[in-house]
Amino acid sequence: MMICRTLVAALLAATLATGVVAQNSITPEDGDAIYQPSSGQPGKDVVWIPTPDALVVRMLAATRTTKDDLVYDLGSGDGRIPIVAAKQFGARAVGIEYNPEMAELARRNVSRAGVENRASIITGDIFVEDFSKATVVTMYLLPDLNMKLRPTILKMRPGTRVTSHQFKMGDWEPDERFTVETREAYLWYVPANVAGMWTLRDDHGFEGTFSLGQRYQKVGGTVTFGGKTQPLLGVSLQGEKLTLSFLDLENNLGSATLVVTGSSMDGQLSWSGRTTKATARRR
């Protein structure tokens, strides 16, 4: 993966200090007889420093990568993340690498790892190539590059998991953060768009109007039913999954768990001692 030139010295020292070689390591050293990259070498707006193997595994585990996923690694370097995604997690994986020599090395590493049927490397620009079909995105990029990618990522399918080594995405706070041997990484779920007015109904007579405000995955608002408007007590949005709680007319706690699909939601509503199927439509 890739990182900024100004941080080379500190991060290279950390990389050399940890010296992690996990069971998923591609080779004992970087490169091969054809091409030998050096940690810290310059690239397009960035320099190359590989993500430690132990952190690669942790990032893919955090995203709950499985054989059903399509992983895109942005700034793929020597291909280690697509290889581990394919070999250990069974996913289909694509790496995008700008440097042609590095991309060729990554393809040879994919072949050596025996995962050509699951992993591939594109020689290309992460700001040009289409990765919209990914269900998992991995990256180790500069904060300003993360910010430049953020609008594209936020337009991806809700629930897409995005993990970044070292750097965040501005004021879009991560859903999770974790550390492996002093190296930090972050996880986001692309949030569904739930802002606006919704009418929620179930088949036992409940009908209420929810007014939701949203900033990324942070959501709040009010509920109106039975002629009474009150604030929602708790709202959580993880990808396309929305949960919310409120008080019913007898001041008992009610809750809804819904899956968002465009301008509709489907799930279940628990109130007045029963749980029913529920549907919401954006007004």
pLDDT digits (tens, 9 = 90+) for 214-230: 999 999 999 998 888 99
Q: Is the pLDDT of residue 169 over 90?
A: yes
C-alpha–C-alpha distance, residues 153 and 21, integer Å: 31
Q: Beta strands 119-123 and 92-97: pairing type?
A: parallel
Q: Which residues contact 83 (CB under 8 A, 6 or more apart)?
A: 24, 26, 93, 109, 110, 113, 115, 119
CA–CA dist 108, 23 (Å, integer): 19
Asked if the model's pLDDT at residue 24 lies above 60, the reply is no
Q: Which uninterrupted H or E stretch holds 149? A: helix 143-154
Which overall architecture, per CATH, does domain 196-282 show? Beta Barrel (2.40)
CA-based nearest residue to 60, from 78, 31, 26, 83: 83
- In angstroms, the CA 171 to CA 194 distance is 19
Residue range 183-215, pLDDT digits in tens: 999 999 999 999 999 999 998 888 999 999 999
* Residue type for position 182: T
- Of the chain, the percentage scoring pLDDT greater than 90 comes to 74
What does the pLDDT average to over 124-147? 96
pLDDT of residue 44: 67
Q: Kindly state the tokens that stand for 210.
A: 């929810």
> Long-range contacts: 172-178, Cβ < 8 Å, 24+?
172/216, 173/216, 173/217, 173/218, 175/217, 175/238, 176/62, 178/58, 178/62
Residue 157 has pLDDT above 60, yes or no: yes
User: Residue 155 is encoded by which pair of tokens?
Assistant: 């337009």
Whether 4 shows a pLDDT value over 70: the answer reads: no
Tell me the residue type at 225: F
26/46: higher pLDDT: 46
**Average pLDDT of every residue of the chain:** 88
Is pLDDT above 50 for 136? yes
Asked if 63 and 136 touch (Cβ cutoff 8 Å), the reply is: yes
Could you state, in order of their start, the residue ranges of all structural domains in the chain?
A: 2-189, 196-282
Based on the number of CB atoms within 10 Å of its own CB, is 143 exposed (0-12), middle (13-18) or buried (19 or more)?
A: middle
- Report the CATH superfamily, name and number, of domain 2-189: Vaccinia Virus protein VP39 (3.40.50.150)
Give me the pLDDT at residue 158, please.
98
Q: Any bridge partners for residue 54, and if so which?
A: none
More confident site: 11 or 45: 45
Strands 274-282 and 264-271: antiparallel
pTM confidence score? 0.85
By percentage, how much of the chain surpasses pLDDT 70? Answer: 86
Q: What confidence score (pLDDT) does residue 166 get?
A: 94
**Chain center to CA of 45:** 23
Quote the pLDDT of residue 6: 36
| 242 pLDDT more than 80 | yes
